[in-house]
Amino acid sequence: MAKSKKASTIEEQKVVIPLEQSIPEIEGRKAWEIPVSHLEKTADGGYKLFHSRRPSKTLLVNNIRGEVDLWRSSGYNTPKGISQTSLTLLNHWFDQDHIVDGKLFHFRFAQREAIETTIYLYEVKGLRDNVLLAEKYMDAMAYGNDIFTSRKEIFETAKSKRVLTRIVPETGLMSSQDLPPEGLTRYCAKAATGSGKTNVMALLVVWSYFHKKFEDDSDLSKTFLIIAPNVIVYERLKSDFENGKVFYDFPFIPAEWKYDWNMSFIMREDQVKTSTDGTLYLTNIHQIYESRSESEEDLGPIGNLLGQKPKKDSEASWLESLYDRILRHEDLLIINDEAHHVHDEELAWYKSIISFHNNLVQKGVKGLSLLFDLTATPKDQNGTFFPWIISDYPLAQAIEDKIVKTPLIVHQSDKTSPDNHQITNAYNAYNEWIQIALKRYQEHFECYYKNLKQKPVLFIMAEDTKQANQIAEGIQSIVGFNKKDQVLVIHTKNNGELTTNKKELELLREQARMIDDPKSPVKVVVSVLMLREGWDVKNVSIILGLRPFTSKANILPEQSIGRGLRLMRDFGPGYTQILEIIGTDRFEEFVKQLESEGVGIGVTQKSPALGQWIEPIKGREAFDFEIPVLSASFTRKMEGINSFDTSILPAVGTIDDKGNYKEVKVTLRTTNTDKVVRTAQVTIDDDEFVSIQELLASLTNKIIKEGKFSARFNALLSIVKQYVKYFAFGREVDLESLAVRRTLANPSVSTKIMLLIGQALGEHIKVKTEVVVTNYPIKLFELDGFMWRRDTVICKKTIFNYTTVYNELEKDFAKFLEKAIDISKFAALAETFTKFNIPYLNKKGSQSLYYPDFLAQQLLDDGSEVSWIIETKGFEDENVQYKDEETENWCKEATRYTGNTWKYMKVPDYFFRRLKITPDTFKELNEKLDEYNSGLKNSKLFEN
């Protein structure tokens, strides 16, 4: 049940940055309590409070969650099956008050639910096989169940892989996902950035250690391997786990068991013996992989038979590789931090993990005690959630719990997006966005530093390292950002992963440690993408996204802003911290997908939809067509560009004179409820606005790209410059003035100029040529078959087994041709599949290809025949007239060359749909169409 939520007043809500409206929140919400309500935005721009928990869009969680809730409410007694060790730990962690650093401490509910669910499934229910887990808890809402179709299936391949296939409701597509092999238990806790994954790891380690120590026949472990995805994450985890620090800082171990806790903590660089009861290894996956590669080195036939050469005395056994040291243990539990890095079976990382499992199986034990994944984004490369997720704490919940910042999208109206592939200087191209971000940063700096002595950080995501350098250099020329180290460029690989250069890594570690320090000079960080896991600077308060996020980018929305979500330190209680997000339209839409929890953003490996194989049929040769292959009626002489006269072009508008500044209106709105909480004016001065050189270059490159003008950049730049200066605005203008630059940066103005110059220039360099036959005619009967994934119609007067159609208009018209008495044969041409096309010059001035819908042969009353090219047309785009002209000309030339009559007909949807009675003959249809085209739309032939 939902009801409208009454917003708290600004006075009630403590924020650092002034807002005009309060940020939607749930009154009294505490991060350690069970969530019983959630917020959702409504269609009218408001939001509602739902008195229920936010449903999970993962495969298993909703059904598991219901059982765990009942089990928890029973005091962990119903159903039976919990051990005394587990019960003691759960009661210690969650039913006792804890004091840490003199303050009352609670484990967060996200942490509690993750460990509770693990204990419930592993111990109480004994569900350690992922096939059994999936079969018991699959949620119908998460696989698109219906009463007619089997939407889910688990099967085993010939190579003993267990595969789950299911419909993903958000995409409507089939998804196939490998399940862990039999004997390997794999769970995943989906935990939002900043929710405290490290504490979940510690809870899991303590439970497994004491369970193995105190419970007979325990299948758990006292040996642990925590794997980080990169060196920076490793450094962060090391600060918690080195010497067991986290276990002493927080109340993980009951007081009565502290003397039973006997653990060694081995970091990846440590070379020490372990003689304790339990061991925790911490490393990054690359070291495991490299160690494994060395261990599996091919020693040749003799070497492989005899084994590796014994080590010298100086190479003591405890100096062996980390991989080999771990292999010596008789039990092992592995925890993957940021586990979305290891979801693909083909990755060397996954193979390394499986090698530990197989090693234990060969020793006669059951294999890994547990493979436990922790990540905010547990999705495979197809964008589908892992099918072994057992708990779900999404970002929206973390925002409501105030354990991360609240993201606010700073929306700028009327903004211009440069062509990213044609940028010569990124600082100039993105100048307006950069200026808005810097103006917002100045307000943040004043508010945070003045009131709380905190220094905010602006993070800028660039497309590549070249652009990152250009942006940094531009900002460093601005007063307030021009002192040493105020602008920091961090170079990563293009996928956001950090460099492997040791010197650069050490510098980066130091920078990451120091940026949050109020004494640090760093105000702006520029890098490629958002730095990924581990770069956990907490003082990022603004993110500027300057890259074209697309479905091909192997990055998810939460990852793109995740490093800015962590709360700043030393805020007083009750503060709502915000993260402002600025960027291009694509970046805004990309970030808004944060609430689309079930839809992947990465590369989608789409399962093919059902289709129909189309091919010519023997016995229907009489319905074949021979289509002449003719050259284009024109060519383009690029040399003609130099003689183009810009004075013939009309003006596109007038100059908007507002003085030597531009005011930009921005709105701040929440990502989860879409509520506008503030509007603001940003003033961009003359010397801060993008240069005329960049604007003219960008416009020239667009004309070249859209008009395909063979990269004649300098010649075209001269034309664009001359037109803009003398003719575009009805008078001569000063190109350097802000008014001209501001007007030219308007997308509607630049698009008009692009189309105007492109079309006129295309016509100018267009040269008529003689049409000739260039190849043998296209015979439909000789075409290869093809797969068609749209609609089809079964017809008999065509050479193909099925008639292909794109829409209902084409479908109905194909039926008309089939029954028309005077049509002897016809064919739907299926665009490129049947290869017939007609070249034409489009509105942008470049050559395009027109693919007609149908061919039909009409028998005339005198016994002669006419071959028709037919276009069924709904919406008429800007290029229709150009297609029509060239097709009419093609028919004339085809008639001249073949001696057979060719004609062109365009059938508008409005005309065809408004006929009272569909004609019996093509002749009658043609006559009615002539009347329609003559303007008789209101005759009795048509319905009112």
Summarised one tens digit per residue, pLDDT across range 387-432 is: 999 999 998 888 888 888 888 888 776 665 665 556 777 888 888 8
Among 16-25, 548-557, 686-695, 789-798, name the most confident range: 789-798
Domain over 783-933 is classified CATH 3.40.1350: yes
Position 903 confidence tier, pLDDT thresholds 50, 70, 90: very high
Compute how many other C-beta atoms are within 10 angstroms of the C-beta atom of residue 625: 21
CA distance 681 to 439: 10
ω into residue 418 within 30 of 0, thus cis? no
Of the two residues 944 and 870, the one the predictor is more confident about is: 870
What is the fold, at CATH topology level, of the domain defined by 61-297+316-393? Answer: Rossmann fold (3.40.50)
| pLDDT above 50: residue 606 | no
Q: What is the pLDDT of residues 544-593, one digit of tens each?
A: 988 665 544 345 556 667 768 888 877 766 678 888 888 766 666 666 66
pLDDT at 617: 84
Query: Distance from first CA to last CA of the chain, Å, rounded?
Result: 47
- Give the mean pLDDT of 275-288: 84
Range of lowest pLDDT (41-45, 453-457, 467-471): 41-45
Lowest average pLDDT, out of 237-251, 601-615, 883-897, goes to 601-615
User: What single string gives the DSSP state of each residue in 338-363?
Assistant: TGGGG--TTSHHHHHHHHHHHHHHHT
Please give the full DSSP string across 371-385, using - where no structure is assigned.
Answer: EEEEES--B-TTS-B
Query: Would you state the structure tokens that stand for residue 497, as one six-digit string?
Result: 């992963």
Q: What is the mean pLDDT of residues 590-597?
A: 55
| Tens digits of residue pLDDT in 715-772 | 889 999 999 999 999 999 999 888 888 888 887 788 889 889 888 888 887 778 788 8
pLDDT-derived band of residue 516, with 50, 70 and 90 as boundaries?
confident
> Looking at residue 356, what is its pLDDT?
92
Q: What is the pLDDT of residue 500?
A: 59
Whether 696 and 724 have beta carbons less than 8 Å apart is answered as: yes
Region 268-285: mean pLDDT is: 83
| DSSP secondary structure string for all residues of 651-669 | P--------SEEEEEEEEE
pLDDT of residue 531: 54
Query: What's the mean pLDDT in 335-358?
Result: 73
Single-letter code of the amino acid located at 470: Q
Sheet holding 676-685, edge to edge: 487-490, 524-528, 457-462, 540-545, 578-583, 406-412, 661-670, 676-685
In angstroms, the Cα distances linking 818 to 29, 792, 794 are 67, 13, 10
Average pLDDT over residues 833-848: 82
When pLDDT is cut at 50, 70 and 90, the band that residue 320 belongs to is low
Select from 585, 544, 582 the least CA-distant residue to 409.
582
pLDDT score of 598: 26
Q: What's residue 3's pLDDT?
A: 42
Q: What is the predicted pLDDT for the residue at 16?
A: 77
Lowest mean pLDDT among 459-468, 486-495, 713-722: 486-495
**Two structure tokens written together for 659:** 């003085």
All structural domains of the chain with their residue ranges: 61-297+316-393, 636-661+683-768, 783-933
| DSSP label of 229 | S
